[in-house]
A and B are shown apart, each in its own frame.
Chain A
């Protein structure tokens, strides 16, 4: 348990640092008369953000939903596939090459192809891009976790004459949970980034990515940055929620003897 003074420090310190950095940023903008097309000041961005809060939120909802669908689909498929690969050696050996190939494909570059597959009016392509991006870190981390069974637990389940599925259910999968969450934490940010970038390549308007490009091409730089701020906030929400769930789910995972 962290003391309240410690909690205050862990929250207060980064907040103060953030405020200080913003102040320095604004100071530099004013002092050197930096033009908004290079970079606008935080006050201007904040102003645009406040003025357009409803469109930013609407955009965040669209992009956030795409990222969430992608995250859930990618994570479920990744975990199931990893469990299968851990149980059936052949699946692992056969899929290793395919997974490595998928890992190096610039997933976002698939977006135009997917748009033509699913139609430019649907969000499916974006969700799929996010799902594929999520799949890799979740699959790799989960599989690694499933291989980390402690010898004493393996002996124990052998003594109990437990079946392969019983072993997975009671020891291997719960034991892999910290690894699964590490994968999910990486994947949560990736999902948002992928869903956002996929918007740059076409598809329906309304998301944050499209809004950023539209505002920037209309020379409305402060507004573009306000949307970027919105995207950062969506990413932070995804990351924090995943981290929160992880903390709760693995609170007793201190290595017990």
Chain B
């Protein structure tokens, strides 16, 4: 029955133009806690992500950036407004497996080997065992973990587990990757290495990425565009286009680059600038 989700049915492209990877229009999200006042997590959010584009959502804790990502992933539904992914509703896009997702926690199944974890989505969607094996070998090579195919998650470091989670997110060759602070729990050195790898991987796969982070350098280094959000209610304050060149040009040297620092300062100013009440406590890096 799950076969229906993998059959690569040609997307019903009614228009001649390819639809945006993600289109968020006028979205509000209001949480109603029991006996407590309602919390407006997002207010009047509009965002369009083009196919193949890398967009970071940045902002202080509680600005609703993770909520926005969860709405796109159909893990939650908006209170108002609409979200479409490749021209489909968020729900249909999820059912059609239009995106891969990675969370802050790697979320690997400890009782499965690395290979077993990467093959999980393929297995659930009825991909044959030979095809699964070929795909997982390919992905392990992509994330540089071929030697650990038969290891269990508890035998891997945090960075390696996160790479397995990214490989799993890429398993079905999605055109969109949703990432919720995937490097948040890693140390700074591992983090920078993972960022470089992610730039390479997204260049190789050509997938669009929506990347949630609270690290300014991370957002600048990775993104085509950085979306700066303000908290309570979560709003998009500004969108900064970062022009640091193609993936091939974005090497480790870029971190020492003048243009890189310039963009970091600009994002920082946007985060702090015209601060409404309550913006204190922004994490500066």
Residues of A within 8 A of B (CB): 150, 152-153, 155-163, 166, 170-171, 174-175, 177, 252-257
* Cβ-based interface call for B105 (8 A): yes
Instruction: A181 to B109: give the CA distance in the assembly, Å.
Output: 18
**How far is the CB of A155 from the nearest CB of chain B, in Å?**
6
Q: Let me know if A256 and B125 touch, CB within 8 A.
A: no
Interface centre among A160, A162, A163, A170 (most CB of B within 10 A): A160
Chain B residues within 8 Å of A159, by CB: 73-75, 94, 101
Q: Let me know if B106 and A155 touch, CB within 8 A.
A: no
- Sample of 20 more A-B contacts, CB < 8 Å, known A252-B111, A256-B154: A152-B107, A155-B103, A157-B124, A160-B97, A160-B120, A160-B121, A160-B124, A161-B94, A162-B124, A163-B1, A171-B109, A175-B109, A177-B111, A252-B152, A252-B155, A256-B153, A256-B161, A257-B105, A257-B106, A257-B185
Against A, the Cβ 8 Å flags (1 = close, 0 = not) of B198-238 are: 00000000000000000000000000000000000000000
Name the CB-closest residue of A to B96: A161
Query: Looking at the complex, which one of B1, B97, B107, B123 makes contact with A156 (CB distance below 8 Å)?
Result: B107
Instruction: A137 to B95: give the CA distance in the assembly, Å.
Output: 39
Chain A residues within 8 Å of B94, by CB: 158-159, 161
Chain A residues within 8 Å of B101, by CB: 155-156, 159
Q: Tell me the dominant secondary structure on chain A's binding face.
A: helix
Against A, the Cβ 8 Å flags (1 = close, 0 = not) of B1-18 are: 110010000000000000
Name the CB-closest residue of A to B113: A252
Q: Let me know if A252 and B107 touch, CB within 8 A.
A: no
Chain B residues numbered 45-99 whose CB sits less than 8 Å from any CB in chain A: 73-75, 94-95, 97
**How far is the CB of A14 from the nearest CB of chain B, in Å?**
29
Chain A residues within 8 Å of B107, by CB: 150, 152-153, 155-156, 257
Instruction: A254 to B94: give the CA distance in the assembly, Å.
Output: 31
Instruction: A255 to B105: give the CA distance in the assembly, Å.
Output: 11
Instruction: A155 to B106: give the CA distance in the assembly, Å.
Output: 12
* Cβ-based interface call for B177 (8 A): no
Instruction: A150 to B111: give the CA distance in the assembly, Å.
Output: 14
Name the CB-closest residue of B to A167: B124
Interface centre among A155, A166, A174, A257 (most CB of B within 10 A): A257
Chain B residues within 8 Å of A152, by CB: 103, 105, 107
Q: What are 22 A-B pairs with beta-carbon distances under 8 A?
A: A155-B75, A156-B101, A158-B94, A159-B75, A159-B101, A160-B121, A161-B2, A162-B2, A163-B1, A175-B109, A175-B111, A252-B111, A252-B152, A252-B153, A252-B154, A252-B155, A254-B110, A256-B108, A257-B105, A257-B106, A257-B158, A257-B185
Instruction: A166 to B105: give the CA distance in the assembly, Å.
Output: 22
**How far is the CB of A172 from the nearest CB of chain B, in Å?**
11
Q: Let me know if B95 and A161 touch, CB within 8 A.
A: yes
Instruction: A160 to B96: give the CA distance in the assembly, Å.
Output: 9
Chain B residues numbered 126-163 whose CB sits less than 8 Å from any CB in chain A: 152-155, 158, 161
Chain A residues within 8 Å of B75, by CB: 155, 158-159
**A-B residue pairs, 4 tightest by C-beta:** A152-B107, A256-B153, A252-B152, A254-B154
Q: Let me know if A170 and B120 touch, CB within 8 A.
A: yes
Query: Looking at the complex, which one of A155, A157, A170, A252 makes contact with B110 (CB distance below 8 Å)?
Result: A252
Instruction: A158 to B121: give the CA distance in the assembly, Å.
Output: 11
Chain A residues within 8 Å of B161, by CB: 256-257
Chain A residues within 8 Å of B125, by CB: 160
Name the CB-closest residue of B to A255: B110
Interface centre among A150, A158, A252 (most CB of B within 10 A): A252
**How far is the CB of A70 from the nearest CB of chain B, in Å?**
28
Instruction: A150 to B95: give the CA distance in the assembly, Å.
Output: 22
Chain B residues within 8 Å of A174, by CB: 109, 111
**How far is the CB of A142 from the nearest CB of chain B, in Å?**
16
